[in-house]
Amino acid sequence: MQSTYFMIKPEIVAAGEQQIGAILAMVNRSGFRITRLAMRQLDRALVEDFYGEHRGKPFYDSLVEYITSGPVVCVRLEREDAVAALRELIGATNPAEAATGTVRDLYGTSIGENAVHASANADDAARELGLIFGD
Ligand code: CDP
Ligand code: MG
């Protein structure tokens, strides 16, 4: 069993419970267990740390602005091979390139506003779960 970090981004939370519920249902149907769940407004310092690998890139400032623009849904998920399985379920970073039926294909609007986050690898999952939940 492996843990990973999943996050529903602000534009989806702002759109209301229907989209949050639909996305969590997709996750559940893919065999994940939700072991932590919280709606939170993340502060700038935390988000700068969370996305530290992207500091200095052209999209970094807008990314931090966007993720701090409203509440997000923070989720710890467990499944066999959770990290890779969740990345497959969410699809490519750019919704225009995301495989049909993935979360970003269905709910993303642009490469910036791409609906959800999922940890890229096991080390990132541990780091992100630590930052968000203190696990
Ligand atoms: O989220 P993911 O791991 O798929 O992509 P990333 O390369 O780690 O980028 C993190 C986040 O930055 C993305 O999910 C987008 O929200 C944002 N981003 C962006 O706005 N413009 C880009 N060219 C690349 C990423
Ligand atoms: Mg990433």
Structure tokens at 27: 């996750």
For 35, other C-beta atoms within 10 Å of its C-beta total: 14
Give alpha helix (H) positions in 32-81: 44-50, 60-67
Domain residue spans of the chain:
2-133
Q: What is the pTM of this model?
A: 0.98
Can you say whether residue 31 is alpha, beta or left, with left for phi > 0 and alpha for psi between -120 and 50 degrees?
Answer: left
Q: Is 113 in the pocket of ligand 1 (CB under 6 A)?
A: no
pLDDT in tens, 31-88: 999 999 999 999 999 999 999 999 999 999 999 999 999 999 999 999 999 999 999 9
What kind and span of H or E run contains 74?
A: strand 72-79
State which ligand 1 atom lies nearest to the alpha carbon of 92: 4
Residue by residue, DSSP assigns 90-126 as H--SSGGGSPTTSHHHHH--SSSS-SEEE-SSHHHHH
Q: Is 59 in the pocket of ligand 1 (CB under 6 A)?
A: yes
pLDDT in tens, 70-80: 999 999 999 99
For 104, other C-beta atoms within 10 Å of its C-beta total: 23
What pLDDT does 135 receive?
79
Nearest ligand by distance to the CA of 90 = 1
* Residue 113, CA distances (Å) to 30, 36, 39 in order: 23, 24, 18
Question: What amino acid is encoded at 135 in this protein?
Answer: D
Q: Which CATH class is domain 2-133?
A: alpha beta
Burial of 53 (0-12, 13-18, 19+ CB in 10 A): exposed
pLDDT in tens, 102-134: 999 999 999 999 999 999 999 999 999 999 999
